[in-house]
Copies of this chain bind each other. A is one copy, B any other.
Amino acid sequence: MTFLNLDHISANPLAPEVKDAMIQAIQSDYHNPSSQHQAGEHAAGLLEDARQKTAQLLGARDPKEIVFTSNGTESVNHALKGVAYANKEKGKHIITSNIEHNAIHRSLKRLTSQGFKVTSLPVDEGGRVDPKEVEKAITEETILVSVMHSNNETGTIQPIEEIGKVVKDHHILFHTDAVDSVGLVPLDVQELHADLLSFASNTMYGPSGVGGLYIRQGTRLFPLLDGGTQENSKRAGAENLIGIIGHGKAAELALHNMDSRQKHLAHLKELLLSELPNYIDEYIINTNLDHSLPHLVNVSIKYIEGESVMLMLSEEDIAVATKSACATGSLRASHVLLSLGLSHADAQGTLVISFGQENTEEDVYRFLGALKNIVDTLRAMSPLYKKAYQATTQE
């Protein structure tokens, strides 16, 4: 069987053009972009080209506002800790939401242990943060608000433009973790009122190990990595030049192919959603379908364990996720799904299906067929299902 990737939220394949650009970079042995001789200047030019393309994708006014990092997690740590340490004289209060990625939650936990105070806002039944709640949470001490652009488990997109407006009306710094959005949905840092925006290249079919942080000119924050003068003195250390060259190509492709990519992904998602009831019953869609990423569906299948489904699909060479790959090793139910009001049992039955450019309609049907057999098998063994079924037949 050929491998079927329906877990693009964890890993996208590289775009063919990105592969070519990276292979060419590998074969070219570029020098250190910080070196002052011609070989160094040539490498620096390649770095700036990738920066320029990224700025264009985000609507940044100046490429210098883009800082390349090693992944979305580094970007998020840089934004949160950088702002906190540099602005603690002004106040030590930070506002966020209950559904953020672990990189946000754990960075804030670190800051809490250092005397910062965090208000974490709930989401409504649609999985979204209410901008009015953000406004209510603001105090004299608030130095930063950080709300994610789209959630990596449900795919639900937050009202960032409205939240950004509220935050900026109060002259507070605003960060959005857009790691799972940039390159998949059009966004613009001006429209979002973002002072800081985190992104990752793999979301746009660039390499894992390349991320970035948009830092609006004039934003006060400390670097996370202190040392040399790389990245306009905002992030020290030798650059992942091969990866960044690949990312530059990925950003260029994302800008040019945004519409067609979105259409393709949305079509597969709609097909999955419309066909799903023909294959299984008793499930809950946790994705807010009015506001969500074009490629992702989060579904809780009742009476069974998502992890068992995932492993049985894996036996058939089909990859899906159950929760964030970054939370692997944790046995707890997803904090994101519990925030939505899901029961522990239902949260455990969750699958995250995320499409990519290379997926086809056939892939949807292959997945649905495999899913039906697995769900039937697991429910036949499930005490929960038997109990529910007996309850129904006794009525």
Residues of B within 8 A of A13 (CB): 29
Measured between beta carbons, the chain B residues less than 8 angstroms from A36 are 307, 310-311, 314, 322, 325, 328
Given A107-B227, A237-B71, A327-B228, residue A37 in contact with residue B209 (CB < 8 A): no
Contacts of A314 in B (CB 8 A): 36-39
Within the assembled complex, what's the spacing in Å between the Cα atoms of A226 and B200? 16
> Could you mark each residue 1-16 of chain A with 1 if its beta carbon is under 8 Å from any beta carbon of chain B, else 0?
0010101001101100
Interface centre among A3, A69, A209 (most CB of B within 10 A): A209
Give the most central of A14, A32, A77: most B CB within 10 Å: A32
Interface 1/0s, chain A 89-127, versus B by CB < 8 A?
000000000000111101101100010000000000000
- The reply to whether A37 and B72 form a contact with Cβ atoms under 8 Å apart is no
Knowing A14-B26, A37-B319, A310-B37, say if A209 contacts B228 (CB, 8 Å): no
- Decide if B14 touches A35 in the complex (CB within 8 Å): no
User: CB-CB < 8 A to A277: which residues of B?
Assistant: none
- Residue with the highest number of chain B CB atoms closer than 10 Å, among A27, A29, A226, A330: A226
One complex includes copies of this chain to the number of 2
A residues near B, CB below 8 A? 3, 5, 7, 10-11, 13-14, 19, 22-23, 26-27, 29-32, 34-40, 43, 69-74, 76-77, 85, 101-104, 106-107, 109-110, 114, 200, 202, 207-211, 222, 224-230, 233, 236-244, 307, 310-311, 313-315, 317, 319-322, 324-330
